[in-house]
Homo-oligomer: A and B are copies of this chain.
Amino acid sequence: MDGIKADYTLELQSEELENLVSQAMERISPFIDGLGDQPAADVRGGEELARSLAESLPTEPTPFSELLNLLFGRLIPKTFNTAGPGYLAYIPGGGIVHTAVADLIADSVNRYVGVWAAAPALAQLEVNVGRWFCDIVSYPEHSLGLLTSGGSMSNLIAIVTARRNKLPEDFLSGTLYTSDQTHYSVSKAAVLAGFPPSNVRVVPSDGRFRINVEQLGEVIRADRDAGLRPFLVVGNAGTTNTGAVDDLTALADLAQQEGMWLHVDAAYGGFFMLTDGGRKVMNGIERADSITLDPHKGLFLPYGTGSLLVRDGATLRRAHSVRAVYLPNTEHEPDLVDLSQVSPELSRAFRGLRVWLPLKMHGIGPFRRNLEEKLQLAEWITEQLSRIEELEIVAEPQLTVLAFRLRLRGQDEESVNRLTRQFMDEVNARRRVYLSSTVIQGRFLVRICVLSFRTHLDRMQMALEDIKAAVGKVMK
């Protein structure tokens, strides 16, 4: 017993922790205040920088201040500025800093919420958050909401849940249906969940990039006639390409009629259910069996918080429930939710606090108002761009994504694509906004997605100026 040597190095006391926090805050504060002035993206030399960082397992300590210098001085600047107001690429969210405070607390107290017995009240906060999300999409009382690490994981859990409820045994002839605009995480999830890639049927979309429901019905019936087992329709409430929202009522009717599970991928669009405009566009979503929506998109949280809602909580439980002899038995309290019994994860982070805290601090009002503002901003920029003769709006915003390209008469597709890319590079080179692209039916399109809580009209005006300047440069 004399031979046992304790090591207290890792056991920081409050004074040391406070010191680290205050050193970190000295870098975070100017970073936050300066977000509007930082380039919207700068990754020049990023690859070489990345390669230069490869190193073996550290054996020696490095002072914290040196690590902060490295992070804030060299590594963080060489990125897409996903937190900044000019980030209009992919699907931005911004990242409210309330979550940083929530995680500071959650990590410090390090409580375990996978079974409610270990932290009943904290587990309940997470259950509350799921409940709130269910309310937002007008789900009934017996629905259930989970927090996940992101939309891909939510889609995977949804597909597994649909599979286990609809095709509990041999499912290899089970087929699922997406549009040609569906996010790739759906077909990826289908394959991870065990389906042959060819069982994922891709149905064409219409001129507004919404699934052709009539054609979908025909494909389903043909598959059924061929001995396959159609079991799942995946609808979109805000595609990544153009923000298109499928006709969810028509999909719900069809799914009901065919006895199929309807999953709606609303990772990007879902929280627009907080707005009147969004509720109109997504009408019918409440009839879906499950819905993916991402707080790190429409609630502006930092990356790492997705969610999955199911209309009937029992379906999640049926898909995931397992008992183990070394876990606390909690079946005697059936009204309390064991998160590990309704999801694939047993141990995992306490994600509830990062959503609960900002919603409690502010109420839902500012979130709703921000989303309304983004809808208006997307409309405004579309209106402005439509006045520019040299641009063609290919997808008007159904929510807050729009897609456009150069209008070049008498040029072949390849030239238009090449020049449109050159145009986008010109816009991005000005570094006040950052736009991304997609390719639909061979057409290279520039996208704008307005979703960050830090993006306001002033930044959209900069976007407009830079777009006009780039048009001038490329078309001269």
Per assembly, the copies of the chain total 2
Excluding A10-B96, A184-B323, A241-B326, 8 further A-B contacts by CB distance (< 8 Å) are A9-B365, A11-B454, A46-B121, A67-B361, A103-B103, A169-B196, A171-B194, A303-B348
Query: A4-B380, A64-B361, A76-B111 given as contacts; is B25 within 8 A of A326 (CB)?
Result: no
- Known: A108-B95, A360-B62. Contact between A128 and B32, CB under 8 A? no
- The CA-CA distance from A120 to B188 in the complex, in Å, is 24
Known contacts A46-B121, A79-B119, A439 near B109 by CB under 8 Å: no
Closest to A33 in B: B14
Which residues of chain B have C-beta atoms less than 8 A from A79's C-beta?
111-112, 118-122
Can you list 6 A-B pairs with a CB-CB distance of less than 8 A? A1-B380, A7-B370, A43-B120, A50-B116, A94-B110, A152-B346
Query: How long is the Cα–Cα vector from A393 to B93 in the complex, in angstroms?
Result: 54
Establish whether residues A192 and B294, one from each chain, have CB atoms under 8 Å apart when the complex forms: no
Q: Considering the chains assembled together, what is the distance between the CA atoms of A39 and B105 in angstroms?
A: 19
Taking CB as reference atom, which chain B residue is nearest A438? Answer: B326
> Which one, B4, B30, B111, B369, contacts A376 given CB within 8 A?
B4
A288 at the interface (CB under 8 A from B): no
Residues of B within 8 A of A139 (CB): none
CB distance from A293 to the nearest CB of B (A): 13
Q: Would you call A75 an interface residue if the criterion is a C-beta within 8 Å of the partner chain's C-beta atoms?
A: yes
Distance in Å: Cβ of A110 to nearest Cβ of chain B: 3
Residue with the highest number of chain B CB atoms closer than 10 Å, among A10, A17, A96? A10
Q: Which of B135, B296, B326, B366 makes the CB contact (< 8 A) with A10?
A: B366
- Given the known A-B contacts A75-B121, A447-B326, are A348 and B1 also in contact in the complex, defined by CB atoms under 8 Å? no
Q: When chains A and B are docked, how far (Å) is the Cα of A220 from the Cα of B199?
A: 31
Check A151–B326 contact: CB distance below 8 A: no
Could you tell me the distance in whole angstroms from the C-beta of A372 to the nearest C-beta in chain B? 8
Q: Does A205 contact B (CB under 8 A)?
A: no
Question: A218 at the A/B interface (Cβ < 8 Å)?
Answer: no
* Most-contacted residue by chain B among A6, A62, A357, A363 (CB, 10 A): A6
Q: Is A345 an interface residue (CB 8 A)?
A: yes
Interface residues of A in 306-354 (CB under 8 A from B): 306, 319-320, 322-326, 333, 335-336, 340, 344-351, 354
The residues in A between 118 and 163 inclusive whose CB is less than 8 angstroms from any CB of B are 118-125, 127-128, 131-132, 135-136, 149-153, 156, 160, 163
A153 to B172, CA, bound (A): 23
Q: Count of A residues near B, CB < 8 Å?
A: 169
Q: Which of A18, A98, A240, A344 has the most CB atoms of chain B within a 10 A radius of its CB?
A: A344
Q: Which of A54, A121, A152, A361 has the most CB of B within 10 A?
A: A121
List of B residues within 8 angstroms of A370 by Cβ: 7, 10
Are B62 and A120 touching (Cβ within 8 A)?
Answer: no
Per the bound structure, the CA–CA distance linking A283 and B115 in Å amounts to 34
Inter-chain CA distance A118–B434, complex, in Å, is 12
Q: Is A107 an interface residue (CB 8 A)?
A: yes
Contact present for A9 and B105 (CB under 8 Å)? no
CB distance from A422 to the nearest CB of B (A): 17
> Does A475 lie at the interface of the complex (its beta carbon under 8 Å from any beta carbon of B)?
no
